[in-house]
């Protein structure tokens, strides 16, 4: 038998898998809160230059102080970063006409905000922007006393979250059978979707950025406490020469799933027999260089890098700039989170029926098209613009879900963590670049949207070059990946001695290497060679 058959013997969809997937997914529930936290803790409240002290302490009303201090922009709103060099009290005169306002105000000398800014705290009592006057970690970030400290802790938080999602998803994939891998993998993504909705609710109730950061950070300590009891992947343990621990883990899984009789049968010899081929092909150590070792691995790595980068790049380009839609950021956060539900249902059906490759390609291309179409819609049609942006974001959420599942299925067990880590790093790089592209909009308002829309379309072409994994068992070695594409590459050609010859019976589990026509567990009569 192969390892997948051994997993069926101890229970592949039992109580253990339910608890295992649920507990591993709980941190992902709050991960969305941290990934999108900047929308609220770094929101830019309505603001303008602080008025002169002698005016603010006078008996003048707030409206008069503002009119005498801050000029208006082209939209008739107070300038955010300019004020008059001297208070313009003549503008408050009842004799000042509209023509005086139009002709004279433009000639009045202005300056930058020398005394800082005044922030409207009606919607949010405090953000990091209002505390550090416009300058740009988890629990520790909530207690930051400076902008530098805040940035350091947020960087550490981002590093930790990347490792968290990689390890969680890898452990989930390696303990579930092939037949439910797509559904379970997509179901895990719904925890992230729910986290987006939770963030909107928590942020609405907690308007101070410090308390909000603390509230979305504390739940991780609960996951930290129970994470010590997770079982390591038995596949990985065997391939790293830790078979004794793998036997213990399999016995534990069997007992939790109520299969004590099967647990007693599992031993070291059975495990070795089940993974004889995989162990023979996994001799030596592996590193990140193996991601480019063969032509098949190079194709997979390059294409997944493009997919991961562009998906994250466009996703956070849309999700991290909620204030541009002109409606409540709490409402738009709920809408952006809720659209993931139908999007992931559709991509799950698509992956189950059509496969991962066409699903990945279509999600990326459709997302890019929605973003590009939005460039042609006038700004005053906010409902239409928001609808297109929400549709594009839903497609990118589907692409994200497909990308993580696809990566785990394409990379073999011996380097799965390395491969998924690389793809995740490219995705994080895309998220880092996304806000910087917005700066290009100061000179060319259409350019950021064009880049955000073009990147997914280009990466959709790269995704088309990836191999299909629908209904395929997880590869354990690089040789497995190369064999699936019919190539001869690999670090070493695997040699495997077939079972002893019996003219009447033979095992069919080694079809790829021995040329047998089936990989089932049945033992059939050997057909005579012609």
Range ranked top by mean pLDDT from 32-36, 289-293, 360-364: 360-364
DSSP 467: P
Whether 99 is in a domain gets the answer yes
Number of compact structural domains in the chain: 2
Outline where 42-108 has alpha helix (H).
Answer: 53-56, 62-69, 98-104
pLDDT of residue 290: 86
Whether 3 is in a domain gets the answer no
pLDDT of residue 461: 92
pLDDT of residue 53: 64
Return d(Cα 434, Cα 403) in angstroms, integer: 19
Position 278 confidence tier, pLDDT thresholds 50, 70, 90: low
pLDDT of residue 519: 37
- Domain that includes residue 70, residue range: 47-119
pLDDT of residue 326: 65
Higher pLDDT, 143 or 466: 466
Cβ atoms of 329 and 442 within 8 Å: the answer is no
pLDDT tens digits, residue range 424-454?
889 989 988 888 888 887 778 889 889 999 9
pLDDT tens digits, residue range 221-277?
998 899 888 988 888 888 777 888 888 888 899 899 988 888 888 888 887 777 776
Token look-up 């350019």 returns 447
Is 373 a residue whose pLDDT tops 90?
Answer: yes
Q: Which whole-number Å values give the CA distances from 164 to 201, 427, 476, in the listed order?
A: 24, 15, 22
Is 22 a residue whose pLDDT tops 80?
Answer: yes
CB count, 10 Å around CB of 112?
8
Backbone CA torsion sign across 280, 286, 288, 293: negative
pLDDT tens digits, residue range 490-502?
344 444 444 444 4
Angle of helix 15-35 versus helix 209-217 axis, rounded to 10: 160
Whether 264 is in a domain gets the answer no
Higher pLDDT, 129 or 49: 49
Position 527 confidence tier, pLDDT thresholds 50, 70, 90: very low
Whether 124 is in a domain gets the answer no
Whether 225 is in a domain gets the answer no
Whether 227 is in a domain gets the answer no
Residues of the chain above pLDDT 70, percent: 73
Position 126 confidence tier, pLDDT thresholds 50, 70, 90: low
Q: Which of 328, 327, 337 has the alpha carbon at shortest distance from 382?
A: 327
Q: How far is the first Cα of the chain from the last one, in angstroms, to the nearest whole number?
A: 29
pLDDT of residue 435: 82
Whether 369 is in a domain gets the answer yes
pLDDT tens digits, residue range 395-424?
999 998 899 889 888 998 888 888 988 998
Whether 196 is in a domain gets the answer no
Q: Which CATH number does the domain housing residue 450 bear?
A: 1.20.1250.20
Q: Which of 369, 374, 368 has the alpha carbon at shortest distance from 389?
A: 374
Q: If residue 110 lies in a helix (H) or strand (E), which one and from where to where?
A: strand 110-111
């Amino acid at each position: 038998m192969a390892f997948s058959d051994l997993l069926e013997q101890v229970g592949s969809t039992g109580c253990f898998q339910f608890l295992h997937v649920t507990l591993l997914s709980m941190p992902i529930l709050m991960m969305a809160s941290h990934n999108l936290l900047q929308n609220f803790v770094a929101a830019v409240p309505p603001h303008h230059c602080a008025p002169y002290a002698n005016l603010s302490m006078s008996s003048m009303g707030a409206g008069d102080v503002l009119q005498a201090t801050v000029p208006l922009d082209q939209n008739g709103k107070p300038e955010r970063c300019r004020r008059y060099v001297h208070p313009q009290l003549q503008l408050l005169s009842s004799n000042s006409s509209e023509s005086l306002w139009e002709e004279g105000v433009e000639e009045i000398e202005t300056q930058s905000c020398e005394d800082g800014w005044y922030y409207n705290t009606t919607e949010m009592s405090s953000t990091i922007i209002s505390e550090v006057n416009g300058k740009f970690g988890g629990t520790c970030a909530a207690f930051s006393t400076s902008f530098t400290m805040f940035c350091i802790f947020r960087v550490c938080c981002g590093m930790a979250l990347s490792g968290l999602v990689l390890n969680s998803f890898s452990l989930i994939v390696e303990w579930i059978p092939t037949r439910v891998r797509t559904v379970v993998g997509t179901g895990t993504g719904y925890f992230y979707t729910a986290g987006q909705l939770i963030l909107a609710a928590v942020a609405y109730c907690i308007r101070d950025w410090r308390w909000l950061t603390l509230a979305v950070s504390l739940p991780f300590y609960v996951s930290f406490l129970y994470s010590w009891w997770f079982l390591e992947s038995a596949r990985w343990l065997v391939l790293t020469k830790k078979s004794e621990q793998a036997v213990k883990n399999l016995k534990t899984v069997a007992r939790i799933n109520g299969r004590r009789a099967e647990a007693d049968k599992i031993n070291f010899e059975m495990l070795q027999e089940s993974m004889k081929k995989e162990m023979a092909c996994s001799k030596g150590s592996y590193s990140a260089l193996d991601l480019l070792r063969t032509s098949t691995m190079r194709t997979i790595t390059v294409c997944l890098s493009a997919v991961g980068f562009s998906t994250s790049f466009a996703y956070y380009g849309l999700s991290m700039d909620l204030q541009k839609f002109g409606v409540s950021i709490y409402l738009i956060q709920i809408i952006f989170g809720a659209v993931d539900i139908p999007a992931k249902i559709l991509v799950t059906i698509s992956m189950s029926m059509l496969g991962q490759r066409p699903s990945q390609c279509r999600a990326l291309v459709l997302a890019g098209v929605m973003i590009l179409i939005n460039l042609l819609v006038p700004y005053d049609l906010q409902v239409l613009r928001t609808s297109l942006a929400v549709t594009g974001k839903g497609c990118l959420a589907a692409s994200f879900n497909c990308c993580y599942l696809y990566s785990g299925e394409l990379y073999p067990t011996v380097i799965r963590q390395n491969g998924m880590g690389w793809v995740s790093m490219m995705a994080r790089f895309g998220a880092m670049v996304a806000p910087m592209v917005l700066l290009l909009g100061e000179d060319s308002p259409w350019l950021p949207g064009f880049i955000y829309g073009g990147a997914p379309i280009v990466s959709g072409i790269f995704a088309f070059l990836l191999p299909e994994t629908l209904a395929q068992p997880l590869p354990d070695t690089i040789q497995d990946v190369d064999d699936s594409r019919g190539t001869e590459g690999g670090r070493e050609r695997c040699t495997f001695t077939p079972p002893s010859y019996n003219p009447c019976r033979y095992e069919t589990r080694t079809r790829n290497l021995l040329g047998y026509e089936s990989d089932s567990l049945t033992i059939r009569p050997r057909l005579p060679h012609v």
